[in-house]
Amino acid sequence: MKGYIRPDGRIGIRNHIAVIYTVECARHVADSIARKAEDAHLFGFPGCFEDRYGSRMLRELATHPNVAGAVVVRLGCESTNVNALVAAIAESGRPVELIAIQEAGGTLASIERGVEAVRRIGRHIAAAKPVAIDWSDLTVGVECGGSDATSGLAANPATGWAVDRIIERGAAVIFSELPELLGCQHYLSTRVADEATRQLLHEGLRRARRLGQRLNAFAISGGNVEGGLTTIEEKSLGALCKAGTKPIRALLKTAEKPSAGAGLYLLDKVGLVEDALVTHYEENDSDGLVALLASGAQLLLFTTGRGSVVGSVVAPVIKICGNPLTSRRMRDNIDLDAGGIIAGTRSVAESGAELVERIRRVADGEPTKAETLGHREYYIPYKPSRACDLG
């Protein structure tokens, strides 16, 4: 596999240029700049007011291992701390340029400057030579969305099988969605590496349970029962199995990175739920993927049953589908059809081995379906800071 070493020592598997807007008013200009260059990826934060979570996500994505340099586009009068963002990018050693629309003289002048800036950074990137990388250089994030009755039988077990193998080869793997695991706390307790992690896990599950009560969510639904799921334990175990069977080495807070090397990590995004401003721990799938990127994942695995089309800004997303009908109907979007497990033509291990090989090729540069289709979703909402504990 090949990768790119950044000046801060982080290793990327893609060479993207981030074009970042720091308020909704600057989005169109930033978008117009990003559309002019294939490697430019657009993201930003729409709010005008400084927000700890939003600013942190911009910084983490701008200095993501897959990002080689950045162009920051601001309007000029937003209250967001743009200078701190630019300084953080510069400090990471990545080339960064700032366009202030009010100073540059409006839309056309700003786009022109931005396009030039992207071109300059592009030339800088072209000089960077790829280096050989190993599984131990990889951090992989796992997420699920659009689940159905096949998820816990095919896509999730196959992904879990692959997760176990890549951890054995040296990769770090992050999974999250703590509230989806409320039903299997006893089993989870047997999966943690040590007592300190066990305490953090129980504390996180308590917050998740409280959040579920406040939001009236995370219970087993009528649709689940119709699909054959009987208990919350069963539903949770079906979601958990996409994370394989290795011990959980540590719990991570939002934007915290795995620091103990190879192994499985659980990202706890549930905030302090006693606060009046309770927010959902994850508003949609892209919100969840952004959090995995912020914890350093260079590559994302996404399991589905009913089907999903989302990709991600900055990182490749491999989609694994266990529903044979969905895999056929949405073949443009599904990278790995695990439906053979349902149809009886393939075992979990066979589909899992196929996924390991796909991960290797994608890490080596092969584009995923979402990358080819231009899916570069991101979602960075306001999260009242006290409801989102940053690491």
Partner 1 sequence: MKLSRRGTYIASKRSIKLNAADNVSTLLEEATAGDMVAIVLEDREQASIAALERIPFGHKMATEPIDTGAFVVKYGAAIGKSLRPIRPGEQVHVHNLAGLQGEDGE
Among residue numbers 57 through 76, which ones bind partner 1 (CB under 8 A)? none
Closest CA to 150 of 360, 320, 286, 334: 320
Which stretch in 77-85, 121-129, 225-233, 292-300 sits in contact with partner 1 by CB under 8 A?
Answer: 225-233
Minimum gap (Å) between residue 1 Cβ and partner 1: 29
Q: How far apart are CA 130 and CA 299, in angstroms?
A: 17
Is 25 a binding residue for partner 1 by CB under 8 A? The answer is no
H/E segment holding residue 86: helix 82-91
Query: In whole angstroms, what is the distance from residue 95 CA to residue 49 CA?
Result: 26
Strands (E), 322-387: 336-337
Considering only residues 106 to 165 of the shown chain, the ones binding partner 1 according to CB under 8 A are: 149-150, 152-153, 157
Site string for partner 1, 321-360 (x = CB under 8 A): --------------------xxxx--xxxx----------
- Residue 387 — φ and ψ, nearest 5°? -95, 5
**What distance in Å separates the CA atoms of residue 300 and residue 167, rounded to the nearest whole number?**
15
Nearer to partner 1, 237 or 291 (CB): 237
Percent helix, strand, coil in the chain, to 5, is: 45, 20, 40
Taking the C-alpha atoms of residue 55 and residue 149, their distance in angstroms, rounded to an integer, is 38
Q: Cβ of residue 46: shortest distance to partner 1, in angstroms? A: 38
CB of 173 to partner 1, least distance (A): 18
Q: Which of 344, 374 has the CB closer to partner 1?
A: 344
Amino acid at 325: L
Q: How far is the CB of 71 from partner 1 (least distance, A)?
A: 47
Write the interaction track for partner 1 spanning residues 171-210; mark x where CB under 8 A is met and - where it is not.
------------xxxxx------------------x--x-
Least distance in Å: CB of 183 to partner 1? 7
Euclidean distance between CA atoms 64 and 86, whole angstroms: 14
Which residues contact partner 1 (rule: CB under 8 A)? 149-150, 152-153, 157, 183-187, 206, 209, 225, 227-228, 230-234, 237-238, 240-241, 341-344, 347-350
